[in-house]
Amino acid sequence: MKVIFFSAKSYDREFFEAENRAYGFDLSFIDTDLSLETVLLAKEADAVCAFVNDTLDAQILGSLAESGVRSIALRCAGFNNVDLAAAKRLGIRVGRVPAYSPYAVAEHAVALILALNRKVHRAYNRVRESNFSLEGLMGFDLHGTTVGVIGTGKIGQIFVGIMKGFGCEVLAYDPYPSEKAASLGAKYVSLEELYQRSSIVSLHCPLSPESHHMIDEAAIEKMQDGVMLINTSRGALVDTAALIQGLKLRKIGHVGLDVYEEEADLFFEDLSTQVMQDDIFARLTTFPNVIVTGHQAFLTSNALRNIAQTTLGNLKAFADGAECPNELSV
Ligand code: NAI
């Protein structure tokens, strides 16, 4: 089976080629994303492997079907970029990787908290310039701090366990509370109480019409002065304009983001020689108390190995005409 990978990076190639020794598929990797302009590159392929910012709308799926593509393997969990109804109509099977390493994402959220609190990003730059002044570098003990966790699914539960390990009091909000999170020591409260009592708020819930911009001006207003906000879930959970206002008013003390609502035009590419066109993002990066990483929370060797194994397993099931537990249906 010939599989073409769109938006492929060096780490995709490394892990997929290693895992493919067990499958023997014919893999080819291109770094451009899948769009109307690039869809013809798949004309020799039986299957397409795509990532979060590849477009799989009805028109592109139609073109893929005409070229003989019969399956799509998403090497990610989210599938909001795929027109599943069109895929079904065209007889294209679609699979995804529902979970690859919740530890990777939970641990990255903790990395952001520690770096922001102890100003590691600022200290790193200072020491490189032989500036050993400690002015402005004061943090606080995590031990005894109250942390609010919004969303206690796979990632949120691991985050709860880590923060309990630091000796934090952990408050949680989830419309479907988890026994596991409670047994790890999270105390379920209303969203209102979580905002009022937490010094750190970390988002671990999916983006949906209900959760879109859940962190807006009104939510920020309810939070503690100097709150630290961490978002490793999806950018549009946060109204970035309201976030910037909260930072300017010093209502928000620290922000750690691995996701950004307009990230599709920025993340995963080296734009260092270009002029930044997104003024809101540009403003965000001027704050000394904000750290933004470019959607890298998933990026551990463990997660990449799991992604490659599951994706190739999905493709094997599709090639064999077998059932696939990770297949998406409308
Ligand atoms: P999950 O599906 O296991 O858990 C999500 C939890 O959020 C569920 O318990 C659900 O009941 C809860 N929830 C749903 N709507 C909510 C709301 N409005 N308020 C509070 N809780 C709500 O998902 P998992 O695997 O823990 O992933 C969480 C999020 O992490 C994903 O949705 C994804 O956006 C993000 N993610 C980010 C990655 C990164 O590299 N930055 C990588 C993987 C996932």
Q: Which of 189, 191, 205 to mutate to test the pocket of ligand 1 (most atoms within 8 A of CB)?
A: 205
Query: Could you read off the pLDDT of 134-192 as tens digits, one per residue?
Result: 999 999 999 999 999 999 999 999 999 999 999 999 999 999 999 999 999 999 999 99
Residue with tokens 């019969």, as numbered in its chain = 70
Domains 2-100+300-328 and 102-292 share a fold: yes
Distance CA 206, CA 238 (A): 12
- Whether ligand 1 lies within 6 angstroms of the CB of 77 is answered as yes
Please, are residues 257 and 292 in contact by the beta-carbon 8 Å criterion? yes
Class of the CATH domain delimited by 2-100+300-328: alpha beta
Residue with tokens 């609190």, as numbered in its chain = 117
Active-site residue identified among 263, 269, 305, 323: 263
Residue spans per domain, the chain? 2-100+300-328, 102-292
pTM of the model: 0.93
Please, are residues 300 and 127 in contact by the beta-carbon 8 Å criterion? no
CA-to-CA dists, residue 305 to 4, 33, 70, 221, angstroms: 18, 22, 25, 42
* 263 carries an active-site annotation: yes
pLDDT confidence of residue 184: 98
- Whether ligand 1 lies within 6 angstroms of the CB of 298 is answered as yes
Query: Could you read off the pLDDT of 204-259 as tens digits, one per residue?
Result: 999 889 999 999 999 999 999 999 999 999 999 999 999 999 999 999 999 999 99
Q: Is the pLDDT of residue 52 over 90?
A: no
- Whether ligand 1 lies within 6 angstroms of the CB of 173 is answered as yes
Class of the CATH domain delimited by 102-292: alpha beta
Active-site residue identified among 93, 234, 254, 261: 234
Can you tell me whether residue 61 is helix, strand or coil?
helix
Extract the tokens encoding 314.
């999905």
Helices (H), 166-216: 179-183, 191-197
Which residue type does 327 have? E
